[in-house]
Structure 1
Amino acid sequence: MSGLSQHQLNVLSTTERVGSCFSLAGIAFIFATFLLSPYFKKSINRQIFYASIGNLGVNIAALISEDGPAGGQSSALCQLQGFLVQMFLGVDCFWSLCMAVNVYLIFFHKYTIEQLRAMDWKYLTGCYGASFIPAFVYIFVETKARGKVYGPATIWCWVTAEWDPLRIALLYGIVWIAIVLAFAIYCMAGKVIWQKRKELEGFLNPLNENPFKSTITTEIHVTSQPRLQRGLSDISKPSINFDRNADANLEDNDFDPYSVNIEVGPVEDHRRSSMPDLMRIRTLTRTAAVNDMNAEAWLYARTSFLFFLALLITWVPTSINRVYGIAHPTKTNFGLNYASSLVFPLQGFWNVLVYIVTSQTACKSLWARMRGRPPPSPERDTVSSAGGKKDVKLNRIARRESQRLDSADTSVTSRGRR
């Protein structure tokens, strides 16, 4: 710490603590809403909730700040702070890799949200178990030449400079392996998204919480007969049949069938002749939401990518600082250390931003309840499985196909629960 003045150390300490306050407020919001509110019970929020446990540990260490090094290397506070940093600092990266693996399973193995949920215990064990082993062992490692593993490390107690190779081997190295693997998976998924960009219009907009909300697949069969010369009363009316996807189970849905009445007026013969005897009109607004995989799986993939971007904000500047420290072991760069003290405590803050962006409807419902207004019903997870169950919410009746039926004066009256 001799490379920094006391004023600079105070600035780093203040920055850490202020950033931690923002993150702790965000973590408290995630814990409270996910555990207590049904509006946030979404599969895409579950991973952020698990990662927030690690953010909490990092923020506790950041609140201790320079009080750890000031207490001395052998103090319980310094050793506790070092344990918290080693235990929880890299957990976000490990969770990001787990989320990327889930994206891979979704895109290339057609895993459903239900199948992914069954893997949570493996991810929890892997992420926190892998971090706990070295963090716990370091407490008991001590040599005469190097001393204890945990000790003063500029902005807090962590692995000392004498044990610097352990920082690279058991944290930074593993973290960047996880980041590179996650990036490779997202590149593969990005190729799939690009190929389906027309069907996924609006998917890449993070402020569009559910681009598949108005998904509807409708088939309209129109059967017509030639117009008779005896007048309007003898004109045969087209029969209209609205068919949903074959794999949609109407008995499982909580809405009433739509009733559509169409009346057709007389037209000239030359216009009627251009109309085919059988016309099939198919409206596909978001094919991916109902065919390739369910909408919740696509939204999970988008949330995972946003989480990954937030992760880069934390680890790029801190890794640059680490490389600088290796290249110049006798120098301490205040600017790079300040960047590290700024971004490390804000991990929880970035995560809560992703959490809010992907839970806009739930946040609005919570705000309505706080203001004493009746909130809407909570959204249900869309779950698809090999058995073929799909719960599709229909929010509107099929749009008029006036351009297709320009040979007739068509009046459409629709009745149904949206």
Structure 2
Amino acid sequence: MSITPFPYHLGSGAYLSEHEQRIIHYTVPITGTLGIIGALSTILGYSFIPTLRTTLSRLVLCMAFADLVAVTAKTIGRAGPDRGALSPLCQAQGAFMSWGDVSSVLWTATISFNLLMVMCFRKTVETVKSWERWYILICYLVPIPFAVAPLFLGDHDPVSGRYFPMYGEADLWCWISPKFPLARTLLFYALLWTIFLGNFFIYLFVGRILWRQTASVQRHRARGISEQKRFIYGKNTSLYVLIYLITWAPSTIFRAHSLFFPNASPIFGLALAMAIISPIRGLTSAIVYFFVSWRTRPPPPFSQNAPSTRILPSDSEGQPRTPRDMESEPSGAIEGMEPDAQQKESPDSNRRWTIRI
């Protein structure tokens, strides 16, 4: 099968070898399919398994929709550019990929923001949960102009008069053409690098806090429900921030290299890493999602509705008391406990330390 060679950067004259192109050509659909399966698994798992629904998982669910759109566009791979920059397939691929990538980046920013608020500014999990409706508006609506604007923008070659749309040949797929470096920076790079660096420093800062608190929480189990929820939320959320840093690192390096060194020779390792990791992020997020949900799953339901097997206590004369007799007694007289003593019993004394966040 003949594969059309594509430039590492338009106009540079540098090409990957045919063997390297063939590897990338077959890698993108495979990793993209795995990413689609992962994103769908997250959506279906949240929809049909109630135990997987937590405060954090709702944000991951919303991010899975964005990942599904972006990964599906990336799975098309070179089919978009091969049809031509002006083809509807190429334009749609670029627009959907831009919307999904920007939305996914914004969702990771909200996860990091919640992590910062909970761990550093002592906000409760319930407080950050109340902000979700604003997150949905921001993360789903803000990317629309980023994705739609390039559909109506382009440039004409002053010599040939040929029209170059902004969405066009972009190495592995259709995206913002390298002929528009400023548009790439304003519509994606600036946002990506700002959030990437912000998430990186938040991860280091919160990791330091978690490292200090781990031993403290283990020594003082009875600190309180809110403190332990804050600790568990921070520990689980940090996994998503780490996955974000890992999955976006190759794309960041690859695009930064093409932006700052437009005439450099192609680096196959970077292109291959981007082809593998960028489309597969739906799967990596799903793995963390199911791992965190399984680790924080509620305990098996205690047999509260099961028939009681407790032996009814007897009165002072040795005769067993009936439930009706017990109903007529003060509430604190059951099991030989004085009313005052029962009222002093801690409400958390019999609670299992499995906290849903």
State the TM-score bracket (shorter-chain normalisation).
Answer: 0.7 to 0.9
**Displacement after TM superposition at 1:285 (Å):** 4.0
Matched, 1:325 2:258: yes
SS at match of 2:215: coil
In the alignment, the residues of structure 2 paired with residue 319 and residue 377 of structure 1 have an alpha-carbon distance, to the nearest angstrom, of 46
Q: Which residue of the partner structure matches residue 154 of structure 1?
A: 171
**Displacement after TM superposition at 1:40 (Å):** 0.8
In the alignment, the residues of structure 1 paired with residue 349 and residue 17 of structure 2 have an alpha-carbon distance, to the nearest angstrom, of 62
Structure 2 gap ranges (5+): 1-5, 8-14, 158-162, 303-346
Matched, 1:4 2:37: no
- Asked if the contact 2:254/2:270 (under 8 Å) is kept, the reply is yes
| Closer, same or farther: CA 338–392 of 1 in aligned 2, 3 Å | farther
Q: Which residue of the partner structure matches residue 59 of structure 1?
A: 71
2:51 aligned partner, one-letter code: Y
Matched, 1:72 2:5: no
Q: Which of 217, 222, 226 does residue 200 from structure 1 map onto?
A: 217
| Closer, same or farther: CA 163–38 of 1 in aligned 2, 3 Å | same
**Displacement after TM superposition at 1:354 (Å):** 0.8
Q: Which residue of the partner structure matches residue 237 of structure 2?
A: 304
Q: Which residue of the partner structure matches residue 274 of structure 2?
A: 340
| Closer, same or farther: CA 111–393 of 1 in aligned 2, 3 Å | farther
SS at match of 2:180: helix
Deviations 1:139-176 (A, max 9, x none): 11122236211001110000001112222222122111
- Asked if the contact 1:54/1:91 (under 8 Å) is kept, the reply is yes
1:376 aligned partner, one-letter code: P
2:31 aligned partner, one-letter code: G
1:186 aligned partner, one-letter code: Y
- Asked if the contact 1:57/1:85 (under 8 Å) is kept, the reply is yes
Identity %: 23
1:21 aligned partner, one-letter code: T
SS at match of 1:110: coil
Matched, 1:286 2:303: no
| Closer, same or farther: CA 395–119 of 1 in aligned 2, 3 Å | closer
- Asked if the contact 1:93/1:175 (under 8 Å) is kept, the reply is yes
- Asked if the contact 1:9/1:155 (under 8 Å) is kept, the reply is no
| Closer, same or farther: CA 200–20 of 1 in aligned 2, 3 Å | farther
SS at match of 1:199: helix
- Asked if the contact 2:106/2:139 (under 8 Å) is kept, the reply is yes
Structure-to-structure mapping, 1:365-384, within 5 angstroms: 376-377=300-301
Normalising by structure 2, what TM-score?
0.74
Q: Which residue of the partner structure matches residue 47 of structure 2?
A: 35
In the alignment, the residues of structure 1 paired with residue 290 and residue 260 of structure 2 have an alpha-carbon distance, to the nearest angstrom, of 40
SS at match of 1:198: helix
Deviations 1:156-197 (A, max 9, x none): 000001112222222122111112222333344334334423
In the alignment, the residues of structure 1 paired with residue 79 and residue 221 of structure 2 have an alpha-carbon distance, to the nearest angstrom, of 55
2:196 aligned partner, one-letter code: I
Matched, 1:359 2:297: no
Matched, 1:20 2:37: no
- Asked if the contact 1:44/1:299 (under 8 Å) is kept, the reply is no
- Asked if the contact 1:39/1:362 (under 8 Å) is kept, the reply is no
Tell me which moved more, 138-147 or 171-180. 138-147
In the alignment, the residues of structure 1 paired with residue 125 and residue 62 of structure 2 have an alpha-carbon distance, to the nearest angstrom, of 16
SS at match of 1:111: coil
- Asked if the contact 2:83/2:89 (under 8 Å) is kept, the reply is yes
- Asked if the contact 2:240/2:285 (under 8 Å) is kept, the reply is yes
Matched, 1:48 2:65: no
| Closer, same or farther: CA 68–193 of 1 in aligned 2, 3 Å | same
Q: Which residue of the partner structure matches residue 351 of structure 2?
A: 394
- Asked if the contact 1:199/1:287 (under 8 Å) is kept, the reply is no
Q: Which residue of the partner structure matches residue 224 of structure 1?
A: none
In the alignment, the residues of structure 2 paired with residue 309 and residue 185 of structure 1 have an alpha-carbon distance, to the nearest angstrom, of 10
In the alignment, the residues of structure 2 paired with residue 140 and residue 79 of structure 1 have an alpha-carbon distance, to the nearest angstrom, of 10
**Displacement after TM superposition at 1:129 (Å):** 2.0
In the alignment, the residues of structure 1 paired with residue 145 and residue 350 of structure 2 have an alpha-carbon distance, to the nearest angstrom, of 46
Deviations 1:100-120 (A, max 9, x none): 211222124432222222211
- Asked if the contact 1:43/1:300 (under 8 Å) is kept, the reply is no
Q: Which of 83, 104, 108 does residue 95 from structure 2 map onto?
A: 83
**Displacement after TM superposition at 1:328 (Å):** 3.2
Question: Which of these two proteins has the greater Rg computed from alpha carbons?
Answer: 1
Tell me which moved more, 76-85 or 319-328. 319-328
**Displacement after TM superposition at 1:23 (Å):** 1.6
In the alignment, the residues of structure 2 paired with residue 308 and residue 108 of structure 1 have an alpha-carbon distance, to the nearest angstrom, of 16
1:180 aligned partner, one-letter code: L
**Displacement after TM superposition at 1:71 (Å):** 0.6
Count how many residue pairs are aligned between Structure 1 and Structure 2. 291
In the alignment, the residues of structure 2 paired with residue 194 and residue 301 of structure 1 have an alpha-carbon distance, to the nearest angstrom, of 11
SS at match of 1:158: strand
1:326 aligned partner, one-letter code: L
Higher strand share: 1
Q: Which residue of the partner structure matches residue 309 of structure 2?
A: none
Superposed CA RMSD: 2.6
- Asked if the contact 1:96/1:304 (under 8 Å) is kept, the reply is no
| Closer, same or farther: CA 395–179 of 1 in aligned 2, 3 Å | same
| Closer, same or farther: CA 197–395 of 1 in aligned 2, 3 Å | closer
**Displacement after TM superposition at 1:14 (Å):** 1.4
